[in-house]
């Protein structure tokens, strides 16, 4: 196995907003620097953690502009181009490529009811239209379709896809995919921040951990231990990070759900670390309140981050 | 029970495309006239049958422009404003209102994982921002959340929503909703074209039948029979239309899924009726092929439409 | 259309239990008489409302014995034979037939993961082994598979099935099935007690309403109005019954789910009507408490049953 | 972390059947010896791979009798007691305990619609009634409920459960559970045979690999490497076994589904290895045919087992 071009820790960067819900460029610059100084291997802009489906095209362009400029070529920038259908994705990739990203990341179609043939046609049409590498974003919890091992293997072999960001929660399929593509130049990035050690053992090339917004240095240490074959160190670091991930339980479950709880907690933690200004999130999400923030602070403290 | 403002047959108009997949304005004008001359009570533009999530904002604006102009105030035009999140919906409603629609129709958030609190905040924020009546589009097969009877009842009572387009496939919940809102000025439009008679008996105000693109006169007769209490006539007309609906089974199931099969069949039928020019559909859907078209023709023939 | 052999109102009778959770034969006899004196057309024993999967084989046999004896041939008795797999179903049907039932009702396999071929083989093997008519019980909310219109149509045409008890919640498929089997001697019984009028208009032969345990006379009047073509009367009766169905919302949703809420409410109502002795239910369900029972009483009162 | 009482490789033994579908005792004895001679740490009888929901109580008792006798106390025998509801499970556990098993394994209720309160009551009632340790079998693909980390943690802390057999496919929840129960005497057995190395790294105590029927020695080597911290060896062994697992793809997907494909392949492989007599499976499953068997043989050959 050779290391594919895109590997290592590639945090899905959150998009800091002002209280008026405009992109907060100064906070975003600080966040990029926070990631780079920890030694990350890439930045994934406008993913689910980046509130991509909540942002207007203008907001998306502004966020990309700030990220690409601040990264300054130090590491690759991958951009989520997440739209329900083929032509809309292609239109977004054009903007992203113009703004200087190294690769684009896109999901299966969503909202419209489609089957395997439509999904394959979707990825092939996008790859044919885009001059940079294309990643598949496998996230059934959002698009309600799992990309099959067979499809991903075929698209890897045909050079349609450069890799996958796996947020499928299906480690069995991920393991089978690792074996199926091991001779291709194909990046296998796990999106599950609490099992990075296990997925690296299984054959992943790297990770896209939302929690790395908060503790990028921890994920860099974890990745380095895995690459070095020091699995006991990796496991200890992972266990610490898995406990830290409990910040996503800070929001009251009676009045909040998935996106509010995840992005809301990451942003709240980043304000406590002095990196971003506000924990504002897009409608219809709500920011964590003060009582919830106390729970985030407790976990940051336990993880040694304060 | 008084008849609410929006009632009767309100077809979700398809968006004819040229072979190059641009909006075919001439075909769209003919289609609007086909509906109006049959006596429909409204037109629902840019719904799921209108390929709304496949179209760019420019295409959407163009389609709306042609529809509003051709309808010419004869009946209300409702516009689907279907985007994954609150602010994006609001941005689309602004365009639709500017182009002259009488009401907007929007779904629960999709892609992002949200819960009941986020969904309620979503509809309230949209209604507060929009100067025209707002309909909820209850379509769990696309957005993967069912709008609860409790939520819809509350939003009806508070004047947030003017009605619902029910494509939930949950006739039990629909019946309970009919009873719960019967004292409000609230439109209950069923989106299920094969059970309009039954849903009218249950208390619906009208229907949004995709199949009415093909046979609007049939749905007008069906609606009139229901309103007149002539349920046997209604049932016979419905049975004929339910059989006609088999055109959605024309596409080979081994190589096509939901959106391809439905919109693809409606468009193919409309070309055979001489109303639209091409059966082209948006990527990643595919148009029905010749062999599949033969099956559509057979059903049109059985229904007495050729 | 001719009326099939099994038609009309066929309540899925609950199984009264003592406080020690043994079958309460005296209560069960009174309940059977309550149904018969209201004029029901059949009794469906050991369905979901009958707590069939909670009962031991001895309890099931005892319940069947009491029901068959008390019915005394006045109307047909259908028996649920609900087991996860083919041979276990066949073993149960043998017991039911020995105890004198006129037909058996069985679901698709559950627990084990099966596909359409296994499901078809299941029903064919059962029908081949059983000397009485076999009904399919289409209840995806319990078995997590929907029986397709194609499969049911084929099994009807081949004489494998005598009918279906439709608890699928899919009125679109039910309507298509009504058309597909209209020339066969096939009973179409809807299990959704709040839309019986609509499903009768759509072509049902009758209903299996859990709520008919509580108000069998209401369902008999509803059925007679439908058969007479008096749909306005049917709708009014249905609306009253749909409101009465709110007794299933009496149990606190924070501490109860489906089976507790439905069977628990039916049994609580029957104790208030003086028909059964105890509202005890099988583990892990819990009986409704006093505060919840007050809500049941309020609805019974509104429906004119007290 | 101390090693809990139940740990290591605990294959979920298949139940060999004769062509007439009776329990084939001679084949079952050979299969037990095949497992024991490979050095397994326990035997899990009557799990999903054991066709438990397909067997009559007599067949189940017969299989348990043969297994317990042949094992002869060499390792613990765990028995699946898989029934839809509480009392039925308790009745089955009584039979299993009488036949000499060391622990019982049971799922959440299935078929009936229940919620978290009913599920917790279910496990507590069973544990209170059973004199041997109780394992939870977390298998949402069969029972359509995931046991939450919170529930399992609470039941572990209260001594209700001795462990979990995790077939949830949710490695994120499994990792969180590993951390949550690490101070309890609680066995964490993964049921996913293709990611045992990764789950052992994550904190599992052992595995229940269906594929270990075919290659128990491979799983014993894999487990020993994990325990020794030799993760590279573990990964290589796992990769070989993951490839071998492709035997479950041997059956034609157009005419077979889950249970047929899995158990059918394991049994076919065992006939080729000369361990069991027939690849017969219970209705409504079907055995693999000759063409499908060829594909199984190819994989056995690649894995070095022929």
DSSP C92-122: HHHHHHHTT-SEEEEE---SS---HHHHHHH
Q: Give the single-character DSSP code of A22.
A: S
For residue B214, give how far its alpha carbon lies from the nearest alpha carbon of chain C (Å): 19
Rounded CA-CA distance B283/A123 in Å is 11
- Looking at residue B183, its pLDDT comes to 87
- Looking at residue A163, its pLDDT comes to 98
Q: Where are the domains of chain B?
A: 8-230
- Looking at residue B53, its pLDDT comes to 97
Find the largest Cα–Cα distance for chain D: 52
- Looking at residue B242, its pLDDT comes to 97
- Give B-chain residues touching A256 at CB under 8 angstroms: 115, 117-118
Interface test with B, best of A283, A288, A292 (most B CBs within 10 A): A283
- C198 and B169 in contact by Cβ < 8 A? no
- Looking at residue C2, its pLDDT comes to 65
- A176 and D242 in contact by Cβ < 8 A? yes
What is the pLDDT confidence band of residue A162, given thresholds at 50, 70 and 90? very high
- Give B-chain residues touching A116 at CB under 8 angstroms: 257
Closest Cβ opposite residue D194 in set A176, A232, A242: A176
Residue A299 scores a pLDDT above 80: yes
Residue C294 scores a pLDDT above 80: yes
- B257 and A110 in contact by Cβ < 8 A? no
Rounded CA-CA distance B225/B235 in Å is 9
Residue C67 scores a pLDDT above 80: yes
pLDDT digits (tens, 9 = 90+) for D98-117: 999 999 999 999 999 999 99
Query: Average pLDDT of chain B?
Result: 97
What is the pLDDT confidence band of residue C104, given thresholds at 50, 70 and 90? very high
Torsion on CA atoms D204, D205, D206, D208, rounded to nearest 10? -80
- B201 and C199 in contact by Cβ < 8 A? no
A20: Cβ–Cβ under 8 A, 6 or more apart, which residues?
none
Find residues 235-254 of chain C whose CB sits inside 8 Å of chain B.
235, 239, 242-243
pLDDT digits (tens, 9 = 90+) for C205-253: 999 999 999 999 999 999 999 999 999 999 999 999 999 999 999 999 9
> What does the pLDDT average to over B140-166?
97
Percentage of chain C with pLDDT > 70? 99
CATH topology of domain D8-230: TIM Barrel (3.20.20)
> What does the pLDDT average to over B73-94?
98
For residue A231, give the chain D residue with the closest CA.
D231
> What does the pLDDT average to over B3-25?
95
- Give D-chain residues touching A195 at CB under 8 angstroms: 171-172, 175, 198, 202
D46: Cβ–Cβ under 8 A, 6 or more apart, which residues?
D15, D52, D55, D60, D63, D64, D79, D80, D81, D82, D96
Rounded CA-CA distance C237/C227 in Å is 14
- D229 and A231 in contact by Cβ < 8 A? yes
- Looking at residue B2, its pLDDT comes to 64
Name the strand (E) or helix (H) holding B188: strand B187-190
Q: Give the single-character DSSP code of A167.
A: -
- Looking at residue D232, its pLDDT comes to 97
What is the pLDDT confidence band of residue C114, given thresholds at 50, 70 and 90? very high
- β-bridge pairing C103-107 and B77-80: unpaired
**Ramachandran category for residue D73: left, alpha or beta (phi over 0 → left; psi -120 to 50 → alpha):** left
Residue C155 scores a pLDDT above 90: yes
- Indicate the pTM of the whole model: 0.96
- Give B-chain residues touching A260 at CB under 8 angstroms: 114-115, 118
Residue C52 scores a pLDDT above 60: yes
Partners of C213 in beta bridges? none
Rounded CA-CA distance B10/B191 in Å is 10
> What does the pLDDT average to over C253-261?
91
What is the pLDDT confidence band of residue A1, given thresholds at 50, 70 and 90? low
Contact status of D128 with chain C (Cβ, < 8 Å):
no
pLDDT digits (tens, 9 = 90+) for B251-260: 999 999 988 9
Low-confidence ranges of chain D (pLDDT < 70): 1-2
- B195 and C172 in contact by Cβ < 8 A? yes
- D56 and C87 in contact by Cβ < 8 A? yes
Contact status of D60 with chain C (Cβ, < 8 Å):
no
A78: Cβ–Cβ under 8 A, 6 or more apart, which residues?
A6, A10, A42, A43, A44, A45, A101, A102, A103, A104, A105, A135
Residue B49 scores a pLDDT above 70: yes
- A235 and D175 in contact by Cβ < 8 A? no
Query: Average pLDDT of chain C?
Result: 97
Q: Give the single-character DSSP code of C17.
A: B
Asked if residue C154 has a cis previous peptide bond (ω within 30° of 0), the answer is no
Q: Which of D162, D216, D214 is nearest to D189 (CA)?
A: D162
Residue B302 scores a pLDDT above 70: yes
Phi, then psi, of C153 in degrees rounded to 5: -65, -45
- Looking at residue A3, its pLDDT comes to 75
What is the pLDDT confidence band of residue C195, given thresholds at 50, 70 and 90? very high
> What does the pLDDT average to over C248-273?
95
- Looking at residue C208, its pLDDT comes to 98
What is the pLDDT confidence band of residue A293, given thresholds at 50, 70 and 90? very high
Residue C1 scores a pLDDT above 70: no
Rounded CA-CA distance A291/A272 in Å is 14
């Amino acid at each position: 196995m050779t290391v594919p071009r895109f590997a290592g820790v590639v945090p899905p960067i959150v998009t800091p907003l002002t209280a008026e819900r405009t992109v907060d460029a100064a906070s975003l610059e600080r966040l990029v620097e926070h990631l780079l100084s920890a030694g990350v291997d890439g930045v994934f802009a406008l993913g689910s953690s980046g509130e991509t489906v909540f942002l207007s095209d203008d907001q998306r362009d502004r966020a990309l502009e700030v990220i690409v400029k601040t990264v300054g070529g130090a590491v690759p920038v991958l951009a989520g181009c997440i739209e329900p259908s083929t032509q809309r994705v292609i239109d977004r990739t054009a903007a992203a490529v113009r703004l200087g990203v190294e690769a684009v990341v896109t999901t299966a179609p969503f909202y419209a009811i489609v089957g395997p043939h439509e999904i394959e046609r979707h990825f092939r049409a996008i790859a044919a239209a885009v001059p940079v590498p294309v990643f598949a974003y496998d996230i059934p919890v959002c698009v309600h379709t799992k990309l099959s091992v067979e499809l991903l293997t075929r698209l890897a072999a045909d050079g349609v896809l450069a890799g996958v960001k796996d947020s499928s929660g299906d480690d069995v399929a991920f393991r089978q995919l690792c074996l199926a593509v091991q001779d291709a130049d194909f990046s296998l990035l796990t999106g599950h921040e609490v099992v990075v050690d296990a997925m690296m053992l299984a054959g992943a090339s790297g990770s896209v951990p939302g929690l790395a917004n908060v503790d990028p240095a921890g994920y860099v240490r974890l990745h380095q231990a895995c690459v070095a074959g020091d699995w006991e160190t990796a496991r200890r670091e992972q266990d610490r990070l898995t406990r830290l991930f409990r910040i996503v339980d800070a929001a009251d479950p009676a009045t909040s759900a998935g996106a509010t709880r995840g992005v809301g907690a990451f942003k709240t933690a980043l304000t406590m670390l002095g990196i971003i200004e506000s924990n504002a999130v897009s409608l219809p999400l709500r920011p964590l309140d003060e009582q919830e923030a106390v729970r985030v602070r407790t976990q940051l403290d336990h993880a040694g981050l304060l």
